[in-house]
Structure 1
Amino acid sequence: MSSPRGRFITLEGGEGSGKSTQAKRLAERLRSHGLDVVLTREPGGSPGAEAVRAALLGGAVKPYGSDVEALLFAAARADHVDRTIAPALARGQWVICDRFIDSTRVYQGAVGQVEAPLLNALEQVAIGPARPDLTLLLDISSEAGLARAAARAQGQVGDRFEREGMAFHQAVRTAFLELAGADPERCVVVDAGRQPDMVAIDIAKAVRARFPEALSETVPA
């Protein structure tokens, strides 16, 4: 008998929203409930996708425009889904991913103005049926998020997206909120401007509400 399909949770949000930290904390929490968890990220998460990551985040692709960026993100995502996400879900594992399709919809689509038909076609080819069961949108003001990102960088130059201006990041935040509002069955908005412990508790509550059969009623501190 084959294993039941696992669960797929993605974390989205602007720069400095704490996605990576909260993805790790959620993975640890789920493992404490005895669940088998795969923690991954985009761009990356598989050998082929990791090879593309440096070009995308380093800014080498930016001069070619948002359409080319979207194509490369889709290529990396296809390898990620094929080699990491889909096999884990087929084994019945839970997959937690730091960024996924919504980042492309926002950064290259809503803000970069890549046309929806192209994005939809790329998405269908790249992910097939591997769609998130739950997306947690970590929402924080653009000013606070960029301040966090700068503190984290410790004087080093930020990545291709962190280097964009304030208007860009405000547009990203607005687009994420609009996307979440249009898909409330999948997306839960979490206030990420608070202390990490408080954010983690709200994330745990959202996950438990969506998957009550898998998690106990107790939310650890």
Structure 2
Amino acid sequence: MKKGKFIVIEGTDGSGKKTQADILLKRLRDESRDVSIFDFPQYGNKSAHFVERYLRGEYGGLEEVGPHKASIFYALDRFEAGEEIKKVLDSGGIALSNRYVGSNMGHQGAKFDDSFLRQEYFKWLYDLEFGLLGIPRPDLNIVLFVPPEVGQKLVDKKDKRDYTKGKKRDLHEENIDHLKKTAQVYREMVGLFPTEFVLVDCTDEGELMSIEDIHERVWDLVKKHIS
């Protein structure tokens, strides 16, 4: 049986990752595609326990929790779902994920000021997630991009989230400097790994595009991988 495809929606904070993943899921199902969706972190599950505590700042600030330690929190959450993703792919289906390893690369990679050290971290992370833990590797990572200042305002419009325990923003979202660095790292990732990561700019001449127009850009990329 032909192996299925693994598509991931990544992006800067507030870029509408979940919205675009949900719209893509509906379109694929409307076309009678066998598709399963995954969402990371898996908030509310035991596997996301350490991620939730980290994002609430219970282990300290961004500088106190280094990139390697935080990455392990997220990696183990993905490991928990790894076998389910493999089953979908082995059956020839499409696995669609809202965030994945690329989110670790963007947010934790932003903690490095030195680009060489950041690339060394990327190598370490690939070895951890795809090597040691053996989680499936995506066929396509679509990176939705909005300017950090715009993204932070969009985050504030989100519905209440249980894992933040009443706070509007989590540890990453409340720090605009971190969001700016993360946005830069996402662009760097697209340049370093052009066969794995593709950027979709969600603005047109400085204005945020409509959800429908962004979806069409996403769909143009996805249909090339599933045809």
TM-score where L is the length of structure 1: 0.83
Q: Which runs of 5+ in 1 are unaligned?
A: 214-221
Q: Which runs of 5+ in 2 are unaligned?
A: 113-117, 161-165, 203-207
Match for residue 217 of structure 1? none
Q: Give yes or no for contact 1:22–1:200 (8 Å, CA) kept in 2.
A: yes
TM-score where L is the length of structure 2: 0.81
Moved more, 89-98 or 148-157: 148-157
1:43–1:185 CA distance, 2 compared to 1 (3 A): same
Match for residue 215 of structure 2? 200
Match for residue 110 of structure 2? 111
Q: What is the aligned-residue RMSD (CA, Å)?
A: 2.3
| CA drift at 1:43 | 1.4
Match for residue 123 of structure 1? 129
Deviations along 1:38-97, one digit per CA (max 9) or x if unpaired, are 111111289543444422432334444332111111211211213x21122112221111
1:174 & 1:61 partners in 2: Cα distance? 25
Q: Give yes or no for contact 1:44–1:80 (8 Å, CA) kept in 2.
A: no
The alignment partner of 1:203 has SS state of helix
Identical columns (%): 25
Match for residue 37 of structure 1? 35
1:91–1:55 CA distance, 2 compared to 1 (3 A): farther
Amino acid across the alignment from 1:205? D
The alignment partner of 2:96 has SS state of strand
Match runs of 1:86-105 below 5 Å: 86-105=86-105
Task: Determine which of 166, 187, 197 is the counterpart of 1:177.
Answer: 187
2:154 & 2:56 partners in 1: Cα distance? 19
Task: Determine which of 138, 143, 148 is the counterpart of 1:142.
Answer: 148
1:93 & 1:145 partners in 2: Cα distance? 32
> Is 1:81 aligned to 2:96, yes or no?
no
Q: Give yes or no for contact 1:43–1:76 (8 Å, CA) kept in 2.
A: yes
> Is 1:160 aligned to 2:178, yes or no?
no
Amino acid across the alignment from 1:150? D
Match for residue 219 of structure 1? none
The alignment partner of 2:157 has SS state of helix
1:182 & 1:52 partners in 2: Cα distance? 30
Q: Give yes or no for contact 1:142–1:173 (8 Å, CA) kept in 2.
A: yes
Q: Give yes or no for contact 1:6–1:92 (8 Å, CA) kept in 2.
A: yes
